[in-house]
Structure 1
Amino acid sequence: MVCNQIGTKLGIRDVGEQPVILPRTSFEYSSGYSLHSPSGRMEGDFEMIYVDRIGSSPLFNVAIAPFSLSSGR
């Protein structure tokens, strides 16, 4: 979720990717957003599923803590 400097919700971002992350590996993601105010914040979560050799387990969410945005104005 993206919010402007006064907390108004501006939108929801969707990665649209479904990477397979193997043990001892990582996945990096970056995105952009046109911020129409001097500052804001972004937060959310990733929906994950654990898959082993037998099958998969229920979905779980990994929270992304709020972080600040700056438009550089």
Structure 2
Amino acid sequence: MIDSPRVCVQVQSVYIESQSTPDDERFVFAYTVTIRNLGRMPVQLLGRYWLITNGNGREIEVQGEGVVGEQPHIAPGEEFQYTSGAVIETPMGTMQGHYEMVDVDGNAFRVAVPVFRLAVPTFIH
């Protein structure tokens, strides 16, 4: 597998206060991912890998097929956007990972998702 500059990933996270219970060490976050195909050939997302780290350094690995029940095809110049969630035990943490993808010729490649923060807005670290 090779890394590919043809696909760009952007992530925005938000704290979901209404679903969180800080007294029970339950902090719920939603994150919206936008995956853009900057190349000239269609691509398909086949799988994902996430490393979720809470504020105490506890790590959870999540991997599986597709995202939100889909293995989307993304045409050149197009994007795919989805929203999902994560629950951690601290008011601050991080996520990072990658997507497993294939191009139209069946060549597999990996697209890195750089580290992004999960943080309660009023939390000062």
| TM-score (normalizing by structure 2) | 0.49
Any gaps of 5 or more consecutive residues in structure 1?
none
SS in 2 for 1:31: strand
RMSD of aligned Cα (Å) = 1.8
What's the counterpart of residue 101 of structure 2? 48
The 4+ residue runs of structure 1 with deviation greater than 4 A are none
| 54, 57, 82: which one aligns with 1:7 | 57
* Count of residue pairs the alignment pairs up: 69
Question: 1:22 Cα deviation (Å)?
Answer: 0.8
More strand by share: 2
| 60, 70, 80: which one aligns with 1:17 | 70
Any gaps of 5 or more consecutive residues in structure 2?
1-50
Amino acid at match of 2:117: S
| TM-score (normalizing by structure 1) | 0.79
Percent of matched pairs sharing the same residue: 36
